[in-house]
């Protein structure tokens, strides 16, 4: 187990987790618009609890998105600054993979209906402006979420490829199926619309990325918005 | 928008003040029109009618200028530079549209689909020496506001 | 904001990293207590925003996060310093665009936390007030400051550093904003200030006039919205039936507009000086780079007994990291620094600052 600090602020949940010496510390708070105020204290508190110095960190991970643009930039800027200060590698983790992981944890802990050997997770979150963030993951109790296709941005009306009946649904868009008719064709075995990604899940995925040496530099610790800049209308 | 009236600057301000006096119980007013058409001037009149006599800065830079007039919260909002709803969320705009607040929204056309329906919509055109104000109501409250134009139409 | 700048620290020698991301410029600089400004890097987004006719907040923030850290590296390389030699980090915390401010503030805070050095929130307007000190460290209050930019038009009595009194403010649009909007109506590019000045410079004699707003009434407040509308009328009068505007008309309108603004600003500065009996004028902000304004203000100061006038160098009129690094240095030297939370203040009254 590597010594990793992780930040996840792609939604209204603000969370930080620290893994060191087979221990995991986490701070998690639902706190819309308070991420900048909370994050530094959360990080300092975890570093203190674990009695770690910065140079002992082997990597800093953050949820790269998709999600709230501002939230993604807060996580990215904090990860950039901390990793740059001590030349620590950065791990970029999909916030959707983290959410799929959270759904799996939740299913294992609470829901007997789910086939526990292998799960397909459909991650759907409201991207506003009649769009949907959509991701599909396969995971099992012994295997981390693997994307079946890359996370994407879809118009609300666009068809989604069929999902198996035993799939798990996670993300707020599942509670807004009137707004996203494409989700109506899917009948998941369990639906966790209220769950949000947390830094604890980022750690799980980051540990694997670090083992595979899939790190990046502080300068490249950038959000993945999915909404490209071309979406902005220019004024002639 | 079918109804309109042609007003000089003073009449436009007088009408705006009347709307301000009528709109004491909250509401949403959209203001359209090109740069320099007089949207902010109109808002200044509405705020004056509500009893506000201080500075009315253009919100182009700050995006939202809040006012409290006799406990009535008023938000003067400029969405000219806004092209994505994420920015609206970030600005905390959702909170501005709470039930009893009065919102004056310039350049709403960039955020249709996200914004709630207004009570009244105005479109100000420059037709020297007048301004032509097209107005449209969306509900009973909007109709009351539109009646402020009746002396001039 | 006041409460967050309470902790006391003591530092003997100091190298401060300054980060400015409040609007559409990414500015990074290093200020050294002994050697002064040792590096400053700027990335302007003006070209990107030109296509939209103004700053798009989301695009500005996206650019800041891509550019800021590489600029920090560049600044350290230029100054031949290492990150471990940093003693403090200063970042603009307001006023400005909230999403843009967050990038610089979070980056700065994270660097400071990880290096175990203090961080300080800088008020964007105080930084503008201090910009002339980068070249003239001996400027001392009291004086009158004219702060004119795209977001602000203020006359400020600087009684002492940190003790500011707003004498006059715009009642509607900021001067720089009206430059941008009129330039857009004339279709001559963004940012509007330099574009209008470029056309006005081609004028041989001014044939048109525009009213000088708020100069006929007492007081030090500004109002430029009416001027914008008058310019609009003038433009429509000169427009040909095919919709085009003859280039001579553009030159004449740009000239009339520039003169109306600079005259107004000059008249108000004269009033502020005479009301306070202060003899020094400090001019800062993007519009402070306008040559016609500088000429007129120099003439005004020439009429004041013992009068002095200070400007930042042209490149520090607009937003930059150097003024943020310097302001942060001044406040850190005074023993001030931030508490742990990052507090962004998109609307932060200058008068709320603690004394320095």
DSSP string of B20-79, one letter each residue? HHH-TT-EEEEEE--TTSSHHHHHHHHHHHTT--S----TTTTSEEEEEETTEEEEEEE-
pLDDT of amino acid C341 = 94
Q: DSSP assignment, residue A141?
A: T
Cβ-in-10-Å burial (0-12, 13-18, 19+) of A111 comes to middle
Both structure tokens of B48: 């004056």
User: Which residues of chain A does C66 touch, with a Cβ-Cβ cutoff of 8 Å?
Assistant: 222
CB within 8 A of C226, min separation 6: which ones? Answer: B41, C211, C213
Sheet hosting strand A119-126, strand order edge to edge:
A143-155, A131-140, A119-126, A168-170, A190-192
Contact flag C228-B44 (C-beta cutoff 8 Å): no
Name the β-bridge partners of C309: C281
Supply the mean pLDDT for chain A.
93
Other C-beta atoms lying within 10 Å of the C-beta of residue A151: 21
Report how far Cα C316 is from the mean position of its chain's Cα atoms.
8
Which part of chain A is CATH 3.30.420.40?
Answer: 4-94+197-235
Residue of C nearest to B66 (CA): C347
Q: Residue A232: pLDDT band by 50, 70, 90 thresholds? A: low
**Residues C96-139: tens digit of each pLDDT:** 888 999 999 999 999 999 999 999 999 999 999 999 999 999 99
Q: DSSP assignment, residue A129?
A: T
Chain C closest-CA separation from residue A212 CA (Å) = 26
Residue of B nearest to A232 (CA): B83
pLDDT of amino acid B97 = 87
pLDDT of amino acid A221 = 98
Given a contact cutoff of 8 angstroms between Cβ atoms, the answer to whether C134 and C322 are in contact is yes
**Residues A156-189: tens digit of each pLDDT:** 899 998 888 789 999 999 999 999 999 999 999 9
Distances (CA, A) of C270 to A183, C54, C195, C275, C300: 67, 32, 27, 9, 7
What whole-number distance in Å separates Cα of residue C121 and Cα of residue C127? 11
User: Which residues of chain A does B114 touch, with a Cβ-Cβ cutoff of 8 Å?
Assistant: 128-129
What whole-number distance in Å separates Cα of residue A59 and Cα of residue A218? 11
A9 at interface of C, judged by CB pairs closer than 8 A:
no
Chain B closest-CA separation from residue C346 CA (Å) = 8
**Residues A187-201: tens digit of each pLDDT:** 999 999 999 999 999
Convert C310-319 to b/e letters by CB count within 10 Å (16 or more is b): bbbeeebbbb
Chain A closest-CA separation from residue B80 CA (Å) = 10
Task: Look at domain A4-94+197-235 and name its CATH class.
Answer: alpha beta
Q: Which chains form contacts with chain A, at 3 or more CB pairs under 8 Å?
A: B, C
Chain C closest-CA separation from residue B81 CA (Å) = 5
C241 at interface of A, judged by CB pairs closer than 8 A:
no
Q: Where are the alpha helices (DSSP H) in C7-97?
A: 46-50, 57-79
Q: What is the mean pLDDT of the segment spanning B43-53?
A: 94
**Residues A132-152: tens digit of each pLDDT:** 999 999 999 889 999 999 999
pLDDT lower than 50: segments of chain C: 1-4, 6, 11
C339 at interface of A, judged by CB pairs closer than 8 A:
no
Q: What are phi and psi of C248, to 5 degrees?
A: -65, -35
What whole-number distance in Å separates Cα of residue C288 and Cα of residue C290? 5
Distances (CA, A) of B60 to B25, B52, C289: 26, 20, 22
Q: Which chains form contacts with chain C, at 3 or more CB pairs under 8 Å?
A: A, B
Out of C52, C56, C173, whose CB is closest to B58? C173
Q: Residue B25: pLDDT band by 50, 70, 90 thresholds? A: confident
What whole-number distance in Å separates Cα of residue A109 and Cα of residue C122? 48
Given a contact cutoff of 8 angstroms between Cβ atoms, the answer to whether C282 and C130 are in contact is no
The yes-or-no verdict on residue B10 having pLDDT over 50 is yes
pLDDT of amino acid B132 = 94
Q: DSSP assignment, residue C337?
A: B
pLDDT of amino acid A233 = 52
Out of A78, A222, A232, whose CB is closest to C106? A78
Predicted complex ipTM exceeds 0.90: yes
CB within 8 A of A154, min separation 6: which ones? Answer: A131, A132, A133, A134, A160, A182
Torsion of CA C343, C346, C350, C352, to 10 degrees: -40
Chain A with chain B: Cβ pairs closer than 8 A: 24
B57 at interface of C, judged by CB pairs closer than 8 A:
yes
Both structure tokens of A8: 């996840």
Given a contact cutoff of 8 angstroms between Cβ atoms, the answer to whether A210 and A186 are in contact is no
Contact flag A85-C115 (C-beta cutoff 8 Å): yes
**Residues B60-110: tens digit of each pLDDT:** 877 888 898 988 999 999 998 776 777 787 677 877 888 789 999 999 987
What whole-number distance in Å separates Cα of residue A215 and Cα of residue A223? 15
Contact flag A85-C52 (C-beta cutoff 8 Å): no
Q: What is the mean pLDDT of the segment spanning A128-132?
A: 82
Other C-beta atoms lying within 10 Å of the C-beta of residue C238: 17
Residue of A nearest to B111 (CA): A129
Chain A closest-CA separation from residue C12 CA (Å) = 22
User: Which residues of chain C does A43 touch, with a Cβ-Cβ cutoff of 8 Å?
Assistant: 113
Out of B86, B110, B113, whose CB is closest to A69? B86
**What are the structural domains, with CATH classification, of chain C?**
2-132+319-352 (3.30.420.40), 142-311 (3.30.420.40)
A218 at interface of C, judged by CB pairs closer than 8 A:
yes
3-state helix, strand, coil in chain B (%, to 5): 30, 30, 40
CB within 8 A of A122, min separation 6: which ones? Answer: A134, A135, A136, A163, A167, A168, A169, A170, A186, A188
Out of A33, A69, A232, whose CB is closest to B83? A232
What whole-number distance in Å separates Cα of residue C356 and Cα of residue C328? 11
Residue A72 in 3-state DSSP? Answer: helix
Maximum Cα interatomic distance, chain A, rounded to a whole number of Å: 58
What CATH number was assigned to the domain covering residues A95-192?
A: 3.30.420
pLDDT of amino acid A235 = 45
What whole-number distance in Å separates Cα of residue B14 and Cα of residue C25? 41
Residue of B nearest to C153 (CA): B57
The residue among C287, C283, C99, C263 whose CA lies nearest residue C180 is: C287
Distances (CA, A) of C101 to B77, B78, B126: 20, 19, 37
Out of A74, A85, A234, whose CB is closest to C83? A85
């Amino acid at each position: 187990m590597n010594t990793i600090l992780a930040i996840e602020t792609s939604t209204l949940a603000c969370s930080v987790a620290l893994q060191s010496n087979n221990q995991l510390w986490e701070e998690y708070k639902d706190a819309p618009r308070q991420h900048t105020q909370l994050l530094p204290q959360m990080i300092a508190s975890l570093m203190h609890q674990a009695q770690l110095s910065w140079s002992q960190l082997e990597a800093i991970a953050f949820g790269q998105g998709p999600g709230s643009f501002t939230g993604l930039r807060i996580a990215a800027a904090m990860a950039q600054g901390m990793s740059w200060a001590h030349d620590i590698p950065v791990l970029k983790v999909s916030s959707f993979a983290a959410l799929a992981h959270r759904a799996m944890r939740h299913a294992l802990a609470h829901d007997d209906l789910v086939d526990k050997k292998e799960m397909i997770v459909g991650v759907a979150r409201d991207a506003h402006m009649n769009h949907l963030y959509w991701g599909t993951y396969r995971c099992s109790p012994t295997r981390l979420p693997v994307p079946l296709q890359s996370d994407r941005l879809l118009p609300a009306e666009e068809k989604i490829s069929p999902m198996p009946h035993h799939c798990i649904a996670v993300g707020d868009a599942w509670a807004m199926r009137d707004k996203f008719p494409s989700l109506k064709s899917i009948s998941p075995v369990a639906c966790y619309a209220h769950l949000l990604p947390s830094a604890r899940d980022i750690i799980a995925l980051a540990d694997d990325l670090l083992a595979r040496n899939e790190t990046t530099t502080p300068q490249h610790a950038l959000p993945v918005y999915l909404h490209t800049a071309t979406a902005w209308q220019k004024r002639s | 928008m079918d109804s309109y009236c042609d007003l000089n600057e003073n009449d436009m301000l007088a009408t705006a003040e009347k709307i301000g006096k009528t709109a004491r119980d909250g509401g949403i007013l959209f203001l359209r029109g090109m740069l320099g058409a007089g949207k902010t001037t109109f808002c200044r009149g509405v705020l004056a009618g509500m009893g506000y006599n201080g500075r009315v800065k253009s919100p182009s830079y700050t995006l939202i200028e809040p006012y409290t007039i006799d406990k009535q919260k008023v938000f003067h909002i400029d969405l000219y530079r806004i092209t994505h709803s994420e920015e609206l969320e970030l600005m905390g705009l959702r909170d501005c549209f709470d039930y009893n607040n009065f919102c004056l929204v310039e350049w709403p056309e960039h955020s249709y689909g996200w914004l709630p329906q207004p009570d009244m919509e105005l479109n100000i055109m420059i037709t020297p020496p007048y301004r032509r104000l097209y107005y449209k109501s969306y509900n009973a409250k909007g109709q009351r506001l539109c009646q402020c134009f009746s002396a001039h139409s | 904001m006041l409460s967050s700048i309470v902790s006391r620290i003591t530092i003997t020698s100091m190298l401060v990293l300054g980060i400015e991301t409040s609007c559409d410029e990414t500015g990074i600089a290093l200020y050294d207590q002994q050697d002064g400004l040792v590096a400053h890097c700027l990335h302007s987004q003006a070209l990107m925003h030109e296509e939209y006719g103004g700053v798009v907040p989301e695009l500005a923030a996206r650019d800041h996060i891509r550019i800021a850290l590489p600029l920090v590296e560049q600044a350290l390389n230029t100054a031949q310093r290492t990150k471990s030699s940093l003693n403090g980090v200063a970042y603009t915390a307001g006023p400005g665009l909230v999403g843009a401010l967050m990038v610089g503030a979070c980056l700065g805070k994270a660097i400071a936390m990880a290096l175990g050095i203090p961080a300080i929130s800088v008020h964007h307007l105080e930084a503008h007030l201090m910009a002339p000190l980068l070249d003239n460290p001996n400027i001392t209050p009291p004086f009158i400051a004219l702060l004119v930019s795209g977001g602000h038009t203020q006359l400020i009595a600087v009684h002492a550093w940190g003790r500011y009194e707003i004498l006059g403010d715009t009642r509607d649009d900021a001067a720089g904003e009206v430059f941008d909007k009129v330039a857009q109506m004339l279709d001559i590019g963004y940012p509007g200030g330099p574009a209008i000045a470029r056309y006005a410079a081609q004028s041989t004699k001014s044939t048109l006039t525009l009213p000088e707003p708020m100069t006929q009434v007492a007081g030090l407040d500004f109002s430029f919205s009416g001027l914008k509308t008058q310019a609009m009328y003038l433009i429509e009068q000169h427009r040909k039936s095919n919709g085009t505007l003859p280039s001579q008309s553009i030159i004449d309108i740009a000239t009339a507009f520039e003169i109306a603004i600079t005259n107004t600003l000059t008249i108000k500065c004269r009033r502020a000086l005479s009301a306070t009996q202060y003899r020094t004028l400090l001019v800062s902000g993007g519009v402070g780079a306008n040559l016609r304004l500088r000429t007129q203000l120099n003439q005004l100061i020439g009429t004041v007994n013992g009068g002095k006038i200070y400007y930042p160098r042209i490149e520090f009129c607009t937003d930059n990291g150097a003024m943020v690094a310097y302001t942060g240095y001044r406040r850190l030297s005074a023993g001030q620094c931030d508490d742990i939370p990052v507090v962004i203040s998109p609307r932060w009254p200058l008068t709320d600052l603690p004394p320095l």
